[in-house]
Structure 1
Amino acid sequence: MYSQWQQGNLVRVDRTNKDGVYIKPQPLPGDPAERFNWDAPINVSAHDPKRIYFASQRVWRSDDRGDSWTPISKDLTQNKNRMHMPMMGRTWSVEAGWDLYAMSEFHTIANFAESPVDENILWVGTDDGIIQVTTDGGKSWKKIELDDIRGIPATAYVNDIRADLYDPNTVYVALDNHKYGDYKPYLIKSTNLGKKWTSLADDLPEKHLVWRIVQDHVNKDLMFIGTEFGIFFTVDGGKDWVELDGGMPTISTRDVKIQRRENDLVAGTFGRGIYILDDYAPLRQLTKKSMEQDALLFAPSRPVKWFQLDSNHTDSDGDDRYVAENPEHGATLTYYLKESLMTAKDKRKEAEKKLLDDEKYPKYPSWEAVEAELEELEPAVYLEIRDANGDIVNRVDGSTKKGLHRVTWEMDYALTTPVTKKDGSNSGFMALPGTYTATLFKREGAEVSQLADPVEFVLESIYPGALEGPSAQDIKAFQASLDKAQKRAMSSTAVLKQLESTMELLRVAISRTPSNVADLEAKYATIKREIHDVNNVLYGLEARNRKGAKPANVMSRLGYARSALWSSYGPTQQHKDQLGYASEGLAEVSARISALQQNAVPALQQSVVDQGGPWTTGLTVIAE
C-alpha cells in the first residue's frame, strides 16, 4: 500500500508486518528542487504491479515499487516564478507577509493517468493550465495548453485526468477554475490523443464543478463523477447526467472509486466522510431503449451474503468507537418504473397543476367523482420471492413512484402466525441458503399484474460452522412443526384475551340485568375460574412471577423451542423435546379455550339478553 503526506512525502507500507518504507523520489546533484502538489499523484501501473508512477513538476517512474526512481520527463508545467505573480492587483517584494510553507507548491503536476490499454500512453494534468501526453512511455511529450481548447479558461486546474479503459486514444479531463471566481463545471473528452476536444458538462447544473470521474470496467458508457454538490452518473458516455441521491448528502465529493470485486461505488467527501453505493451493477443495464419499458427488475450481481444477525449484543459501544451502518441484511433488488402508479386523485391534482401553470383555473369536481376518489384503493408495487421449487416465500413492498428504487428482502419467510394488529412484524423463519427468484408485481384496484420477468439470485453462507448441524430437511421440518405450534399458541392467547375483555363487559351487563341474576352469577364465576386455570397451564401460577425459580409451562417450553432460531446451527434434540411438550399442552389448552369461545361465553351472553340485560360484543347483531 502507498500513502503520502503533503509535499510529496511518500511511504510504501507492508500490510503484513505494518512496516513503512520512505520512498520519496530524490533529485540528482545539480537538479532543481522538486515541486510536489499537496496531493501529488501516485499511480500503480495497470500493466505491472511493481511499476509505479509519481509526479512533482516532472514524472517519476519506478519498476521496483519505489526502491529506485527514474524521471521520464522534463518539467511539464509552465515553470514560472511564483514570487512574481501578481496578487491583489500587484506584485510584492521581500517585506510582504509571505507564508508559503503551509501551502501547496505551484506549477506542479496535479494529476496523472496511464492508459490501461497501451502502457506507453501517459497523461499529465497540471495546476497551471497544461495537459501533456506521451505515446512512447515518456521519451517525448506533447503539450496541450488549456486556452487552446474551446470554452476552457487558461487558468483552469486539472482536477482529474483519466485514460479510457477501452480505447487507447480516449481521455477524460475534469477541470476547475473556482480560484478565479468561476464555478462552472468543466468536463472534456478527446478521442484522438488530444487533437480535438468535446465538452461533457453541458447537461450538468451550474456551480457543480467536477472533481473526479471514473469509468465502469464492464460498460464503457457508464461513468460516475464527483462534483461540488454530489454524485452523478451517465449511461450514454456523458451526454446525459443523472444525480445519484439515495441518502447522499449535498456535499463536495472529492473522490470517486470503483471497488471492482464487489461492484461498489465509493465516494470520499470534503467533510472527510466515506459513502458506499453497494452493488451498482444494475446501472450497467440501463439504456435509453431499456428505460422505455414500463418496468425493469435487476437481481444482485453477486451471491447474497447469508448469515444470522447477532441480536444478543447491544447496538452501541457508547462513545468508545464509531461504527458506520452496514448494508441492509438481506438480498437487495433494484427496479425501475417508467411512470408512477397514480390514483384518480393523483391524476386530478396533476392535471389541475398543469392548468395553474398555464394560468387556467380548475372547477370543483362532482360529488360522485370526489366520492370515488375516497373509495379508491391505494396502488401497490411489491416483489414476490420464490424458492427453487417455485413456492412463495415472502412479498416485499416497494415504492410506486417512477424512477429507480431498491428494496431488501431480509432472507426470511412471511410470518403466517395469527395477525392481531395491523402494524405487526412480518419477520418469519430465516430462509436457507440456495437459489431464489424475485418477480415484480403491481396492484391497482383489485387487479394484480406482473411488471417484469423474474430474476434469479443466490443466498450463500459466509460463515461455515465448526460443527455440523441438522440437515436442511430437518431444519425445515422443525420450522413447520414450530410454525404450527406458534399459530395454535397465538390464536389461543388472542382468543383468551378477547374472552377476558368480554367477561369484563359481562360483569357490567349482569349488574344491569333487571331480573334474578343468581344463575348468571354462578355461570360467570365458573367461566372466570376456567379462564384462570387455562392461564395457569399456559404461563404458570401468576403468584410465582418474579419470585424466584418457576416450573416450566407451555409458553416457556415453546419459547425454548423458538431459541433454535437464534443461530444457523439448527434445532438440538432438546429443542425438539421442548416443542413436543409445548405442543401437547397446547392441544389441551386450545380445546378448553374453544369450548369457552363457542359455548360457555356466548351462552352466558345470550342468557343475559334473554333476562332483559344488555347486549355485549361478540353476540350476533340485533336484527329485530
Structure 2
Amino acid sequence: MNTMATALAYVVTADMRRPYFVYTGLQDNGSWGGPSAVRGRGGIMNSDWYGIGGGDGFYTAVDPTDHNIVITESQNGNTNRYDLRTGIGKSIRPVPPRAGRGVEPAEAPAETEQQPGGFGGRGAPPNVLNGEPGDRYRFNWNTPVVLSPHNPSIVWFGGNRLFKSYNRGDTWMASADLTKQVDRNKVSLMGAPGDRTQLSKNDGVTSYSTIISISESPVLPGVVWAGTDDGLLQVSRDGGTTFTEVGKNLPGLPPDHQYWISRIDASHFDAGTAYVSVDGHRNDDLKPYVFVTHNYGQSFDTIPGNLPSYGNVQVIREDPKNRNLLYAGTEFGLFVSLDGGRQWQKFMGNYPTVRTDDILVHPRDNDLIVATHGRSVWIADDITPLQQWTAELQSEDAHLFDIRPAIAYLNDQQHGQHVGGQKVFVGENAPRGAAIHYYLKAAPADEVRITVADATGKVIRILEGPTSVGINRVTWNLAPNPPPGDQGRGGGGRGAAPPSVEPGTYVVTLTVGGKTYMKP
C-alpha cells in the first residue's frame, strides 16, 4: 500500500548535513538512509532513500563529523562499516582468535557456535586484541552498536561481552562476560524441560544472555552502561575495563528476573545520572517499568508516573537541553514528561497508536525523530518550546521562545520527479522558513501581531498569529511583505516561492495584550 508508511523501523540515527539525513534499520528489509527534507517543491519520495546494509536492519550509526561513514547491523551482530564515497564496505563484527587443534573453548555454554545469519562477519579475520583462542561470543538478534559521544572513532558493541574499538571497528577490546550466562538449552518452554526434545527448539532465539542496550555518558568519558536480555544492568567508570552489576537495585521487579533492560540513556547533565527502561512482556508482564539513578546505580527511583498501566516500555530518552523533559516509547505510543517523569501525556495529536522503538533529538536542529514498528519514521519539527518550557514560564501571560536559525534553501530543479499512478506515498517536507513559537496563558482580546525587522530596525514583514491558549507556531517564509494587492501571509511554501530576504540577523517582535516581546 503506497499511500501509507508502514515500515517496521527499529533504531534511528541522523547525520549533520543540511537538511540532515535519517538512518534506520527495518524488519526484514535491511538498513536505509534518506533525507529529512528535500529541496524540491514536492515531498520525500521512496526513491530519495537508499539501502545500505542487508539482512534484517536494526542499529545504524553515522559519524557526525563525516556523513559518508555509516555503520549498519543485521541479525546476530553482523555489522558492516561503509564509506559512501567509495561504496566500500567492511565487516567489523568482533571475531576471536581461532582455536588450534586440541584447544578447548574458553567459554563453553551448552549451545553450539553461533553462525552468522545476515551480512557482515562471515569468514572475517580475528580482530579482538585481548581475545583468547577458543573464545565464543554471543550476539543478540538486535545487537547494539553505538558511537561514543566524545569521539566518533570509538565504537561500543554488545555481545555477551562489551566490545570497545578505538578505530571505527577495525580492532576491538573485550570486557568480561557481563551476562548471567544462561544456557538456553536448559530453559523450559511451555512446561517442556529445555534438555528434552522440543519441536522447533530455540526457534527465534538464535542466542541468549546477550547485551541489548549500551549508553556512554555524554558528560564524562568512560562512564558506560550495558543492559542485557537476562536482566542484568552493568556500569563501568573506567572505560569498560571493570563493571558493577546494579540491576539488583531496580525496585519493583520480580526476584532473579530475566526481563530485558530495553534501553539505557545516560544523562546529558550529570555523570552519575542515567535513565533505564525494562521490558517484561516476554514474561507476560506489560507494566511500564522506567527508572532513574543519580548515583551510578547505587539506588533507583521509579518514574512511570501516570503512564498507561498496560504497555511495556521500549525506549526512554532524556532531552539533551532540558533535564526535566523526558520521552518514552511504549508498545502503544509516544509519551512526554515535562517534570522528570512525575506526569506523562501522549505526544502529538496526529501520532499513531503504534509500537515506538526509538527516539532521537537532533543535536543541532532540535527535531524529535521517532522510529516506530509499524508506521515508519516520524519527525516533530523544532521542539524548542518544549525544551525551554518551565513551570515559571507557564505562569506568564505570554512568552516568545528562542527562534531557531533558518536556512533559505534554494529549489533543486532536478528533483521534480514524475511517478506514474496515483497511489504514491510522499513524505512531508517541513514548512520552509523560520518557525516562530509563542505561549499564551489566555486568549487575548485583541490580535496577536508579529513583526520582523532587519538590523537597522526597519520592519520588513508583518504577520498575524493565532490566539489559541497554549503554544502557537507561525512560519515566516523569509520573504518581505508582499506588494499591495497581494496579501499572502507566506506561511507554507506552496506554489511559486517568493524572494527571500538577504542572509543576516533579524529581530522578531511579538505584540499581544499591550506588551511586546523580542527575540533575534
Tell me if both proteins adopt one fold, taking TM over 0.5 as the criterion: yes
Question: Is 1:305 the counterpart of 2:407 in the alignment?
Answer: yes
Match status 1:335 vs 2:438: yes
CA distance in structure 1 between the partners assigned to 2:444 and 2:333 by the alignment: 29
| Counterpart residue number, 2:75 | 6
Deviation at 1:454, TM superposition (A): 2.0
Higher relative contact order, structure no. (Cα contacts within 8 Å, ≥ 6 residues apart): 2
Alignment counterpart, residue 263 of structure 1, candidates 358, 366, 377: 366
Q: Is the 8 A contact 2:286 2:311 kept in 1?
A: yes
Structure-1 residue corresponding to 2:270: 167
| TM-score (structure 1 length as normaliser) | 0.59
Question: Which amino acid is the alignment partner of residue 252 of structure 2?
Answer: G
Check the 8 A contact 2:250/2:291 in 1, yes or no: no
**1 CA distance for matches of 2:295 and 2:331?**
29
Match of 2:288 in 1: 185
SS in 2 for 1:290: helix
2:227 counterpart (125, 128, 131): 125
For 2:92, which of 23, 26, 47 is the aligned residue? 23
Instruction: Give, in whole Å, the separation in 2 of the partners of 1:324 and 1:113.
Output: 31
Relative distance call for 1:208 and 1:95 in structure 2 (3 A) is: closer
User: Is 1:432 aligned to 2:507, yes or no?
Assistant: no
Paired residues of 1:160 and 1:211 also in contact (CA < 8 A): yes
Matches within 5 A, 1:116-155: 116-146=218-248, 148-153=249-254, 154-155=257-258
Q: Which residue of 2 aligns with 1:51?
A: 154
Match of 1:455? 519
Distance in 1 between residues matched to 2:516 and 2:309, nearest whole Å: 37
Unaligned runs of 5+ in 2: 1-69, 100-104, 108-135, 491-496
Q: Does 1:296 align with 2:402?
A: no
Write out aligned runs for 1:517-536 (5 A): none
Q: 1:391 to 1:256 in 2, by over 3 A?
A: same
Change in CA separation of 1:185 and 1:412 when aligned onto 2, cut-off 3 Å: same
Q: Quote the sequence identity (%).
A: 32
Aligned equivalents of 2:517 and 2:484: distance in 1?
A: 30
The amino acid of 1:291's aligned partner reads Q
Bigger share in helix:
1
Give the CA deviation at 1:8: 0.7
Q: Tell me if 1:407 matches 2:474.
A: yes
1:254/1:340 Cα in 2 relative to 1: closer, same or farther (>3 Å)?
A: farther
The structure with the greater share of residues assigned to strand is 2
What pairs with 1:70-469 in structure 2 (closer than 5 Å)?
70-73=173-176, 75-91=177-193, 94-100=196-202, 102-146=204-248, 148-153=249-254, 154-245=257-348, 247-271=350-374, 273-302=376-405, 304-307=406-409, 317-318=419-420, 323-340=426-443, 380-415=447-482, 417-418=484-485, 425-426=488-489, 430-433=499-502, 434-442=504-512, 449-450=513-514, 452-456=516-520
216-225 or 164-173, larger mean C-alpha shift: 216-225
Are the aligned partners of 1:297 and 1:452 in contact in 2 as well (CA < 8 Å)? no
Over 3 Å counting, the alpha-carbon distance change for 1:426 and 1:172 in structure 2 is closer
Deviation at 1:272, TM superposition (A): 5.3
Alignment-mate amino acid for residue 188 of structure 2? P
What is the Cα deviation at residue 144 of structure 1? 2.8
For residues 95-133 of structure 1, the C-alpha deviation after alignment (integer angstroms, 9 at most, x for no partner) is 421253544522211111222333332211111111112
Deviation sequence 1:391-430 (CA, Å, 0-9, x none): 44444344333222222122334445348xxxx8455953
State the aligned residue count.
407
Contact 1:115 1:168 (C-alpha < 8 Å) held by counterparts: yes
2: CA distance between counterparts of 1:322 and 1:288?
Answer: 41
Q: Give, as a single letter, the amino acid of the residue that structure 2 aligns with 1:172.
A: Y
CA deviation map 1:278-325 (0-9, x unaligned): 2323323211011110221124222x1124557998685346985522
**Residue matched to 1:562:** none
Provide runs of 4+ in structure 1 moved above 6 Å: 310-313
Q: 1:316 to 1:389 in 2, by over 3 A?
A: farther
Q: CA RMSD in A?
A: 3.0
The alignment partner of 2:282 has SS state of helix
Q: Could you report, residue by residue, the CA deviation over 1:477-503 in whole angstroms, capped at 9, with x for unpaired residues?
A: xxxxxxxxxxxxxxxxxxxxxxxxxxx
* Letter of the 1:16 counterpart: R
**Are 1:120 and 1:138, in contact at CA under 8 Å, matched by a contact in 2?**
yes
Contact 1:115 1:163 in 2 (8 A): yes
C-alpha distance in 2, partners of 1:105/1:393? 63
The answer on whether the counterparts of 1:295 and 1:337 sit within 8 Å (CA) in structure 2 is yes
Deviations 1:14-56 (A, max 9, x none): 2221211112111343233322112111122234333222111
Match of 1:471?
Answer: none
Give, in whole Å, the separation in 2 of the partners of 1:196 and 1:126. Answer: 19
- Quote how far apart the aligned CAs of 1:92 are: 5.2
User: What TM-score does the superposition give when structure 2 sets the normalisation length?
Assistant: 0.70
**Helix, strand or coil for the counterpart of 2:387?**
helix
Task: State which structure, 1 or 2, has the greater radius of gyration over its C-alpha atoms.
Answer: 1
